[in-house]
Amino acid sequence: MEDVIRVIVQYLHVTAGILWIGGAFYTIFVQTPAIMAAPPQARGPVIAQLAPRQIFYILRLGEATIITGVLRIMVSGRAREIENLASRWTLSIVIGAVLTVILLGLGHGIVKPALKRMLTLGPSATQGDAGAAAEAGAIARRLKTLGYVQLALGFAIIFGMVTARFS
């Protein structure tokens, strides 16, 4: 029975993690360049529809990954080992968990408010307000750089998790 629970929790955890980091990969390498290549008048309405849905799903997936990750420790049969910071398993999980919290924090604390601001600026920028267009452009550039940082964090977390599996 314990094995069945472990499989279910692991399945949910890995699925949530794949969708979370995979969603970020798709956003950065497929969706954003495609939107930026579109004519400016077409961008606004598309971003207005996409951004709220996207940030909602990505943040919920991050939260689901953390909750199932904590559950995964609880059903691992190795929960007590977490007190031993010298163990490779503990180090991999703890470093992965800390990076995960940073990653989700960036989403809640920086990406979500920045997208909200972009959506506010959008209509003025489309109607020719140069100040609004410049600010929206600056936010888009900052989000792009942050996106690469977030993806690097995601890959580092996956490395930590796989290391834990073999520790």
Q: Which residues bind ligand HEM (CB under 6 A)?
A: 13-14, 17, 21, 65-66, 69-70, 72-73, 76, 93, 96-97, 100, 157-158, 161-162, 164-165
Scan for tokens 């309405």, then name that residue: 45
User: Between 21 and 136, whose beta carbon lies closer to ligand HEM?
Assistant: 21
Query: Which one, 82 or 140, has the nearer CB to ligand HEM?
Result: 82
Q: How far apart (Å, rounded) are the C-alpha atoms in residues 136 and 125? A: 8
Q: Which residues contact 12 (CB under 8 A, 6 or more apart)?
A: 64, 68
Please state the closest distance from residue 27 (CB atom) to ligand HEM, in A. Answer: 15
- For the CB of residue 109, give the shortest distance to ligand HEM in the complex, in Å: 17
- Provide, rounded to whole angstroms, the least separation between the CB of residue 104 and ligand HEM: 8
DSSP 36-55: HHS-HHHHHHHHHHHHHHHH
